[in-house]
Chain A
Amino acid sequence: QSALTQPASVSGSPGQSITISCAGTSSDVGGYNFVSWYQQHPGEAPKLMIYEVTKRPSAVSNRFSGSKSGNTASLTISGLQAEDEADYYCSSYTSGSTPLYVFGTGTKVTVL
């Protein structure tokens, strides 16, 4: 099972909206509504931002939203802020027991 495909980098100016894609297959992203997104600042542990495609933990800003179409999931950050600059990883449950979960290749978000 290969890693999910994400763009290596995405950038935007403060206040703009950006979207990060996460391409998988029918055995992972397309087959289940179990896509999650994680934010990781340098030297820190990942933080859950979106789960089950569209759901947002209560402590996460509503500027973050998730969606899915077919085998591709997306994370949108609206009203981009300096603190949003970080690495973002998607993840999906898979149809096999190994791996149980597959992560994306990661996207570096830069706030210009």
Chain B
Amino acid sequence: EVQLVQSGGGLVQPGGSLRLSCAASGFTFSSHAMNWVRQAPGKGLEWVSYIYNTGSTIFYADSVKGRFTISRDNAKNSLYLQMNSLRDEDTAVYYCARDLGGSYSQGWGQGALVTVSS
């Protein structure tokens, strides 16, 4: 069974930094691309970032480009999202998700709430 366990959310001031982690089990992590998707309170889903299984290809949404960095450690079966220069509008629940076929996500983490507020 695919399991993605997230950690690292919390309260941070505007301009601050936070790192999210996503520990994978139940599948061959090194064979799959991964995504980060976020959901602002009461709002819809927004794709944030994608990383290929080897880490060789990475994409970001324009809203986070230059501020967020996605990475992975296949030896540790872990995915990361380093978030810098955080803004109020980055407040959201962040989900990691396993990418399949380059077209959809099956297997999602439980979500991590990031609150950016002074």
Contact = CB atoms under 8 A, between A and B. Distances in A.
A112 interface: no
Contact-residue bracket for chain A: 20 to 34
Interface string B105-117: 1101111000000
Interface string B26-46: 000000000101000000111
A100 B108 contact: no
Nearest to A102: B47
Q: How large is the interface on B (under 10, 10 to 19, 20 to 34, 35 or more residues)?
A: 20 to 34
A36 B111 CA distance: 20
Nearest to A105: B44
Main secondary structure of the interface of B (DSSP, over half): strand
Interface in A76-111: 89, 91, 93, 97-106
Contact of A51 (B44, B59, B65, B104): B104
A98 B110 CA distance: 25
Interface string A25-57: 000000010101010100001111001100001
A99 B100 CA distance: 17
Contact of B47 (A51, A100, A106): A100
Contacts of A40: 45
Contacts of B65: 98
Interface string A6-17: 000000000000
A104 B61 contact: no
8 contacts: A32-B103, A34-B103, A46-B105, A91-B45, A99-B61, A101-B35, A101-B50, A103-B46
